[in-house]
Chain A
């Protein structure tokens, strides 16, 4: 009897230690160490990211030349000029083409190759490395490499001559040059999309494929009914990353074509940096940057939301 009476008071003691710990945690969780730990990063980030973001809007309304700190506010003149300027409009159109075609090609090729070599095995591992390696090389150097090969007297035309095909104007005809830029981007970056797709495919439980095979589903049916829906989140990530990345494409164009021929391969970032630094019109460059920022954010969000509803439809 006494035992049962003394037992209950002990029970509330069991949850007691956490309360002691909570009490001890309190002084440690004071704000001072939090501020010391968060402060420096916030300071650097605000200085180099947030303030510049706001400044981009402010500078886009000025005629700043980049050197002096004296400049005048000229209202929306930079925006008006940019939208009327055929150079900028052409650059915007080419950038949109690169972003849309490049995103499609990189993901179609990346997914196709991923499906073929997702299974474990030595040959597949080697192939993965071969398809992926250009990704870790600077796109400027990729651009120079392909530029050297695609010149009128370059390696590609020399090889074509061996099989009796006349020299092709890879970099000297505006239309060909546009194709060359996209092909170079595809060559150097579908491997990245492939790697993400493979990671997605590997996360699909094997039982699904086994069950589908038992049910007599063909490889294509399995791909459509199992692989595609289950890697939907990876596809979203791939689409957004490629699209946002290609909207700011610059290095590879600079090295491959330098925006030519006849300014046919100038991209928006090429235009921004040219106006800002070669033409010393940083106000104009800032205005175009702001437009690019808005377009990038809208495109990124649009794809994310469109894909999210597609993902939900698949899940339902």
Chain B
């Protein structure tokens, strides 16, 4: 056994590690260039892409990007973060009770309810965007924050309800009954006894929804629109970088600032992000 595998592995292992190392370089070099180029003048970025010369190292461009009048990146962090928080709070507050009703229900309409929401998984958001603009215009919510939050919250419902109800099916009914015996009404029993048990799946959903809202570009661009004057990180980057795409002293510092929060979030939450994605995809 070992002879056969060893014969196969010695050159095999060498090739494997060369391939993996080369792929890793291809993955890392763009990020490395993005980071170092944020601290270099234009000529240096073009002529010496991989090197950082201490004599021309400068924080000037980063400072310019931070204080740019075209794109207030610090404000965009705050705006986007508050959108992420609002969508998470509203999305979970709406999805959790309905998922509970679906998970505990035994009638046909409970199944229909689940199918209604799950159908949303197969509808690309871009397809409904145009009529959503129509509906929001009718409601007078186009180019407003409430309109945007309403749409983003609705967009999170299919995945959230699907994962919540799948999780709730694994929660024993005894807990409902214990709460019922204590005299709590169904709604209070849910929020005080069942919802706290849902911590793991709520964490998964927080991660998934946070990434998708933070990175979303089309919905804020169309629903909020430049006329609202409210920029998220992505729409702000588009406004700031779109027109300067060959002035690298604007491009790289702006991009660095834009990805920084996502990268920090990734480093801290890596295990949850990967676990959440796997849970979201394989159960969905």
Contacts and interface: CB of A to CB of B under 8 A. Distances in A.
Interface of A: 21, 24-25, 28-29, 33-34, 36-38, 40-42, 44-45, 47-56, 59, 64, 66, 69, 113, 116-117, 127-134, 136-141, 144-149, 151, 153-155, 158-159, 187, 192, 195-196, 199-200, 213-214, 216, 218-219, 233-234, 237, 241, 244, 247-248, 250-251, 254-255, 269, 272-273, 276-277, 282, 285-286, 289-290, 292-293, 296-297, 300
A56 B246 contact: no
A128 to B, nearest CB: 8
A199 B278 CA distance: 7
B150 A276 contact: no
B74 interface: no
B112 to A, nearest CB: 11
B245 A47 contact: no
B1 A213 contact: yes
Nearest to B2: A213
A131 B27 contact: yes
Contact of A51 (B126, B135, B241, B281): B135
Contacts of B41: none
- The majority secondary structure among interface residues of chain B is helix
Contacts of B46: 153-155, 158
Nearest to B174: A21
B186 interface: yes
A38 B98 contact: yes
A241 B20 CA distance: 25
Nearest to A48: B154
Contacts of A117: 20
20 contacts: A41-B161, A42-B113, A51-B131, A53-B123, A64-B134, A69-B137, A133-B31, A136-B215, A136-B265, A138-B262, A139-B215, A139-B217, A141-B259, A144-B245, A145-B34, A155-B45, A192-B277, A237-B284, A248-B125, A251-B234
B61 interface: no
Contacts of B133: 66, 282
A219 B113 contact: no
A264 B128 CA distance: 26
A34 B190 CA distance: 11
Contacts of B5: 213
Contact of A33 (B150, B187, B259, B281): B187
B274 A53 contact: no
B238 interface: yes
Interface string B8-24: 10001000100110011
Contact of B217 (A50, A52, A140, A292): A140
B252 interface: yes
Interface of B: 1, 4-5, 8, 12, 16, 19-20, 23-24, 26-28, 30-31, 33-34, 37, 45-47, 49-50, 94-95, 97-98, 100-102, 105, 113, 116-117, 120, 122-135, 137-138, 150-151, 153-155, 157, 161, 177, 180-181, 185-187, 190, 211, 214-218, 222, 233-234, 237-238, 241, 245-246, 248, 251-252, 255, 258-259, 262-263, 265-266, 270, 273-274, 277-278, 281-282, 284
B163 to A, nearest CB: 14
Nearest to A67: B137
B101 A38 contact: yes
Contacts of B105: 34
Contacts of A37: 97-98, 100-101, 186-187, 190
A159 B177 CA distance: 68
Pick the 8 closest A-B CB pairs, nearest first. Answer: A48-B154, A37-B97, A55-B131, A52-B131, A138-B215, A33-B186, A155-B49, A41-B94
A282 B130 contact: yes
A293 B127 contact: yes
Given A48-B132, A149-B30, A248-B126, A138 B151 contact: no
Contact of A59 (B130, B211, B218): B130
B218 A251 contact: yes
- Most A CB contacts (10 A, CB to CB) among B24, B47, B95, B154 go to B154
